[in-house]
Chain A
């Protein structure tokens, strides 16, 4: 059984930025109480699906709870017109600072892409450098949107299971789920994650979710995120972009 490393994806500040962007919040006026609750529900889910690296999220959750508590307390009187310090200030500063580096990372990506267009005579060595540490594939989806879908699916499932009766524990393996996804993908070349697992038992849903993360990471599948829907579409990996001819012929066919 392997574990999906969250480290390859995003961190707690990304989750906060995800909420801020999704709900179009004013970064200087974050509704801390609401965000904290939602943050915690994500963290609980992450713990459940046993993603590696949840510790950083738990730490951030504790910071959020601290801020929330501070905001509930009456502010101490500030002496002689000193600026009242917003308990959220440090967090906001961190988020803004982090945004700067995120953007810088984007710039570096562009530089690296441009650099990839020129070849040196000893490129074998460069190739070796990249293989020494397997290059993780870049995903364009944020893992939080995937987790949002998972959350919704699990909630649906909870609502359905109302009758209480004991069930034998069934184990689902990520390996099985992976095979299942790949063979399904051979039958129909794209399908919705939530659609495909509606009514499935919780264990199977989680196994499938982890399998999806792993498959995306190794590049065996690609994920499309339609804007409006709370589902994501699993599709064949994008054809290797070796020349524009391949793509045009495909879109004509």
Chain B
């Protein structure tokens, strides 16, 4: 087979594009890059494309969909690929599907979900504490909607169950991974008070952080958070350079 080099994807790449488009279309559901690679390896008997190659082919496909006014896109959701309609045709699809009202979660469910999403793995007592409300009802609903699941048990007293979000959660919110969650804003940003007393705020909120005298708190704080993140908690300082 002749392989042409140049500004356009090579012949082999185009074949990859074609396969991804076909598979995601036919699957309807989420297809993982690994599945695609397996299929290709089995059919061709050759070296399968890497995940990076597949993902960049998806980007190129989406670019070409956009450039050619196509009505579909391939989304990267929950670590996989799923073909969907494009945003531009949303009004038509809403009418077509007779979607009369927006499917939205109530405020209490959304808040509970946010707490689980950002603090996971987390326990019910922790969720109760943050909202000041017994989370039993909300957690049961979220479990019923497959947005939240039990991911294990804590080692603390009574071994309470640990809750986390599911792949369905990622898909329902259009996220590829938990790293794509928007940053949790810091308290200072939330309080739009110009007369905000910074020293006092630090005194009030930085209780858990090691208070080392004479060091400016800033670097310390981010270091601690990053360390926290490696323990499996979600950190959201990515992109804050």
Q: Which residues of A contact B (CB under 8 A)?
A: 5, 7-13, 26-28, 53, 55-56, 60, 83, 89, 92-94, 96-105, 107-109, 111-123, 126-127, 129-130, 132-133, 135-139, 219, 240, 242-243
Contact = CB atoms under 8 A, between A and B. Distances in A.
Nearest to B141: A133
Given A100-B185, A119-B93, A129 B146 contact: yes
Contact of A12 (B130, B133, B174): B133
Given A96-B205, A104-B185, A119-B90, 6 more contacts: A9-B107, A116-B103, A118-B174, A129-B168, A138-B106, A138-B107
Contacts of A94: 129-130, 132
B23 interface: no
B104 A121 contact: no
B190 A100 contact: yes
B162 to A, nearest CB: 18
A26 B162 CA distance: 36
A7 B133 contact: yes
Contacts, number: 172
Closest 4 A/B residue pairs (Cβ): A11-B133, A136-B106, A121-B28, A115-B174
B171 to A, nearest CB: 8
A9 B114 contact: no
Interface residues of B, number: 67
A186 to B, nearest CB: 21
Contacts of A27: 191
B73 interface: yes
A13 B132 contact: yes
A85 to B, nearest CB: 10
A53 B35 CA distance: 47
A9 B187 CA distance: 24
A113 B141 CA distance: 20
A109 B102 CA distance: 11
B159 interface: no
Contacts of A9: 107-108
A12 B131 CA distance: 8
Contacts of B57: none
Contacts of A122: 28-29
A53 B104 contact: no
A101 B132 contact: no
A135 B104 contact: yes
B151 to A, nearest CB: 19
A12 to B, nearest CB: 5
Contacts of A242: 94-95, 100
Contacts of B97: 119, 123, 127
